Amino acid sequence: MGRLKELLRTPSGRFVAIYAAVLAVGFFVLALRPVNDHVVNPYTTFVAHESKVALNLLGEGARVNGQILSSPRFSVAIYNGCNGLEAILIFASGVLAFPTPWPRKLIGLLLGFVAIQAINIVRVVSLFYVGVFWPKWFSASHVFVWQSLVILFAVVLWVAWVRRYALVPATR
């Protein structure tokens, strides 16, 4: 217990503890049925509609029914794990845990949300086209490639935010 207290006295120890706590609470809250029913599912439907807009800009003729995105060539269901919320939560936990002033955190949260949402739409659209042109590669692309890339993007985005916005210049 003494080593833990000693570790929590360090800036890196506090960061890790706050990060883990925010992440755990965030995942717990997302798993609550009322939050899932009234926030996560509507958000997932919103992601499906954003993806439809992107596909239609590419001439696909896509439509959405609930969380199912389809065209005459392919259909895909967008589930909770495909909505980008996990990556947003990972990024947001890092921003909230980092010791920097609140205005910088708010900039990070806003820019991070938009950037992760954008990469997630690219993900859904590209997976849609993998399903159209290479259907046997859809599952591997979804699980191994894009899930990893979206999480990696969130981590790299956090590092970029820390370097650009979070570090407060030292006063002399």
* CB-CB contact of 167 with 100 (8 Å): yes
Domain membership of residue 99 as a residue range:
2-166
pTM for this prediction: 0.90
pLDDT for res 170: 58
pLDDT for res 79: 87
pLDDT digits (tens, 9 = 90+) for 27-65: 999 999 999 999 999 999 999 999 999 999 999 999 999
Q: Is residue 139 assigned to a domain?
A: yes
pLDDT for res 152: 96
Torsion from C-alpha of 71, 118, 22, 26, nearest 10 degrees: -20
Q: Is residue 171 assigned to a domain?
A: no
Please state, in angstroms and as integers, the Cα–Cα distance from residue 151 to each residue in 16, 82, 84, 120, 148, following that order.
Answer: 18, 12, 9, 10, 5
pLDDT digits (tens, 9 = 90+) for 71-122: 999 999 998 888 999 999 999 999 999 999 999 999 999 999 999 999 999 9
Q: Is residue 172 assigned to a domain?
A: no
Q: Is residue 149 assigned to a domain?
A: yes
Q: Is residue 21 assigned to a domain?
A: yes
